[in-house]
Amino acid sequence: MLFKEIIKRKRDGFELSDGEIKESIKRYLKGEISDYQMAAFLMAIYFKGMTDSETLHLTDAMLRSGETINININGIIVDKHSTGGIGDKVSFIIAPVLAELGLPAVLLSGRALGFTGGTADKMESTGIKVTLNKQEIEDVVKRFGFSISCQTEKIAPADRKIYALRDATSTVESIPLIVSSILSKKLCVNTQGIVFDVKVGSGAFMKTMNEAEKLAEGLVNVSKLYGKKAGAAITDMNQPLGRSAGNAIEIIESLNALSGDISNDLLEVVTTLTGILFKITEKGSFEEGKEKAENIILSGKALNRFCEWIEYLGGTTKLSIGKRRILVKSDKEGYITEIDGEALGFLIIETGGGRKRKEDKIDYSAGLKFFKKIGNYVKKGEPIGEIICNIGDSTAFINKFLSAFKIEENKPERLNLIKEIIP
Ligand code: URA
C-alpha cells in the first residue's frame, strides 16, 4: 500500500494492522519514506491516537530495528523505568537492593532529557564505564546481581530517527508515541518483569494525573501484550526527590541512602517499586517486597554491592563536588507550599550540571542540595538549600533557586507521594 494511503487511514481514525505499521517503519529506515511523509503520519497519530495493539506493533517495529539483548542467567530478570524527574536517583538504590533480594535487575538507562537528569550521566560522574555490550552486561549481572548501563546506538535506531522528527514537529507529547519510544528501548532485553515509575508534577514531563494515568496504563498494557509482567506507580514530582539533584551529588546521596541514611520520600518510592516487582513476578506479596527492601536499605546491606560494582567498572566512590558552595536563605517566613522542579532542573543546567545542547559537556560536580521541602516552616534568613558549582553568577542563581520555592502563610495539605499503583 502507498504510504500516503496509510497516513490517510490513520488520519481518518482507522486502526492500522501489524503489517501496515511494521512495513512503514522498515521503509522509513531504508529511506523509501520521506521525513515529510513520516511527519504527517506522526501528526495523524498525535491527533487520532493509537490502540494498545497498534502501539505494540509500533514498539515491536522500532525495537526490531536494532539489537536485542538476551541475558543468559537463571532466575527472573527485572527492570525499573522512570519517566524522569528532578533528583531521581532511585535506580542506584533499587538495583542493588533487588540483587540482594534475589531479583536480578538489568537496567538500560538514558542521558539527561530536557530539564531532567539522566541516570547514565549520573553514573558517568563516578568515572565508570557506562556503555556495556551484551557479554559485559551478562558478566556484571552474574557478579553483582544487577547491571545499569547506557542505551547504546545499536538499540532501537528507528526510535532515534523518529524522536528527532517528533521533536521538530511538536509530536513528542503523544502518549502512544511516548509509550512505543520508551518500550522500544526497554523491551529489547529479555527481562520478565518491569515496573514503571511514572512521575507527575512540576518536575516531571507529565504535569497532570490524567496524562500520567494514560502513560502508566499504556506502558503497562503494551508491556503485558508483549508478554512481560508489568506494573506501575504514579509518584509525585511536585518537588525534587530526596535531598539533592545533580550528578555526583546524587551518587553521594545514593551511597548514603544505601548505608541507611535515606530521606523518607526516596525510601517510600524505592520500597513501593520493589513491592510491585515482588507482586508481579510472584516472588511475594507487595507488602513483603516493601518490607524486605526497607530492611535491606536501613541495615546498609546493599551498600558494598553498589560500591564494588562501581569499582569493578573502573569508577570511584570518592566523589568530589563543585568548589563554590552558595547557601540559599529564605527571603520570607512561612510554609513552603510549592517547589517548581522544572525551574530547578533548568538551574542545574545553568550551573553546568546539565546540557543546553546535545554536544555540551557536563560539570558532574555541580548540583543542588535541598534542606527544606513542601510543608516545612521556614524563618526569614533560614537556609533552605545550597547551590554547588564552579561557574556563574551567584546572585542570579540564588534568585532562581528562591523563585522556585513558594512560601505562604498557611500550611499546605500533606502531599501524597504514591498517587496510584497500577494494576
Ligand atoms: N522518553 C523517551 O524515551 N521517549 C519519549 O518519547 C519520551 C520520553
This prediction's pTM = 0.96
Instruction: Give me the pLDDT at residue 392, please.
Output: 93
Check pLDDT > 80 for residue 256: yes
Residue that is written with C-alpha cell 558517568 in the block: 124
Of the pLDDT bands very low, low, confident and very high (cuts 50, 70, 90), residue 301 is very high
Nearest 5°: CA angle at 407, between 403 and 410?
160
As annotated, the active-site residues are: 81, 159, 166, 181, 185
How far apart, in whole angstroms, are the C-alpha atoms of residue 307 and residue 102? 18
Give me ligand 1 centre to Cα 181, in Å.
5
Check pLDDT > 90 for residue 360: no
Q: For ligand 1, pick from 169, 172, 175 the residue to mutate: most ligand atoms within 8 Å of CB.
A: 172
Give me ligand 1 centre to Cα 182, in Å.
5
How far apart, in whole angstroms, are the C-alpha atoms of residue 22 and residue 26? 6
Q: For ligand 1, pick from 178, 179, 184, 219 the residue to mutate: most ligand atoms within 8 Å of CB.
A: 178
Check pLDDT > 80 for residue 145: yes
Task: State whether the Cα torsion 107-112-219-186 is positive or negative.
Answer: negative
Hey, what amino acid is at 272? T
- The strand order across the sheet containing 244-246 reads 244-246, 367-370, 383-389, 324-329
Check pLDDT > 90 for residue 117: no
Nearest CA to ligand 1 atom 7: 178
Of the pLDDT bands very low, low, confident and very high (cuts 50, 70, 90), residue 417 is very high
pLDDT digits (tens, 9 = 90+) for 181-201: 999 999 999 999 999 999 999
Instruction: Give me the pLDDT at residue 144, please.
Output: 98
Nearest CA to ligand 1 atom 3: 182
Q: Where does residue 318 rank: exposed (0-12), middle (13-18), buried (19+ CB within 10 A)? A: exposed
Instruction: Give me the pLDDT at residue 197, please.
Output: 98
- The strand order across the sheet containing 405-408 reads 377-378, 334-339, 405-408
How far apart, in whole angstroms, are the C-alpha atoms of residue 153 and residue 219? 23
Ligand 1 site residues (CB inside 6 A) read 172, 178, 181-182
Helix 341-348 / helix 394-403 crossing angle, nearest 10 deg: 160
Closest CA to 320 of 251, 401, 371: 251
Check pLDDT > 90 for residue 162: yes
Give me ligand 1 centre to Cα 335, in Å.
35
Q: Looking at residue 352, what DSSP letter applies?
A: I
Extended strands (E) in 183-250: 193-200, 229-236, 244-246
Check pLDDT > 80 for residue 113: no
Give me ligand 1 centre to Cα 99, in Å.
27
Domains in the chain (CATH in brackets) are 3-49 (1.20.970.10), 78-174+184-312 (3.40.1030.10), 324-408 (3.90.1170.30)
How far apart, in whole angstroms, are the C-alpha atoms of residue 401 and residue 341? 10
Measured from the Cα of 178, ligand 1's closest atom is 6
Q: Please, are residues 184 and 59 in contact by the beta-carbon 8 Å criterion?
A: yes
Instruction: Give me the pLDDT at residue 358, please.
Output: 78
Nearest CA to ligand 1 atom 8: 178
Cα atoms in the Cβ-side hemisphere of radius 13 Å centred on 356: 4
How far apart, in whole angstroms, are the C-alpha atoms of residue 242 and residue 257? 10
Residue 5's contacts (CB-CB under 8 Å, 6 or more residues apart) are none
